[in-house]
Amino acid sequence: MSLSKAAILVEVNNRTGRSETDIDSILKAVLLDLTIDFPFLKGEFYRSTIAGTPDYGVGDTIRNVELVKIDDKDPLIKINTWEEYQQLIAEETEADRDEPTRYIIHDRILYLWPTPDAIYTLTIFGSYIERNVDTIDLEDNFEEVLIQGCCFKLYESKSLGASPPAVLHLNLYKDAVDKLKRIYSESAERIEYNDI
């Protein structure tokens, strides 16, 4: 399922009485807001390690790293502090390199310990920021939220964020977000245990 930027643009123009041709930056801002409101937008991200390299950038797509695995084995143990990581690597030699068992995220960089001795496949599990505005990979029930959010952000970008129409769209956006939160929390609560 994906939502169409073109359809959102048409609705934003209809509802605001404007004739905008580009809402990419506004749509990105709304998608970023939704990632904060809905941390259930989760995914798996893959990358390969390089022997002798302990650090890997996580990029700006991953909002929050929840779990890291190597070659689909048990999850790595998260290192609690940067200082603890510094102590672990302080005396590490080339002979100490091995399959990593621990990790820490510091300044958007994933550090592994011990330093990998070979090529491994990292699987990073986490919530992500939807940044593709051309094909928005969200369910259809997010369309109204995106439209209302874009309407408000459009007014806001024109320094009209406090105007009555902008406030109306902001309130409609908040209502739509609350409705989605209820829908998704209810669906999580409906999971039942069935003993066979």
Q: How far apart are CA 46 and CA 196, in angstroms?
A: 36
Q: What is the pLDDT of residue 66?
A: 86
Which of 95-99, 101-105, 177-181 has the least mean pLDDT? 177-181
Where are the chain's structural domains?
Answer: 3-40+130-185, 42-128
Which residue did the predictor score with more confidence, 81 or 195?
Answer: 81
**19 to each of 13, 56, 80, 108, 193, how far by Cα in Å?**
6, 43, 51, 38, 52
| Confidence at 115, pLDDT banded by 50, 70, 90 | very high
Q: DSSP label at 97?
A: -
Angle at 71 between CA 67 and CA 77, to 5 degrees: 35
Q: How far apart are CA 111 and CA 102, in angstroms?
A: 8
Which of 27-31, 101-105, 150-154 has the least mean pLDDT? 27-31
Q: For residue 69, how far is the Cα from the chain centroid? A: 18
Q: What is the pLDDT of residue 2?
A: 67
Average pLDDT of the chain to the nearest whole number? 87
Interval 148-168 mean pLDDT: 96
Q: What is the pLDDT of residue 165?
A: 96
| Confidence at 1, pLDDT banded by 50, 70, 90 | low
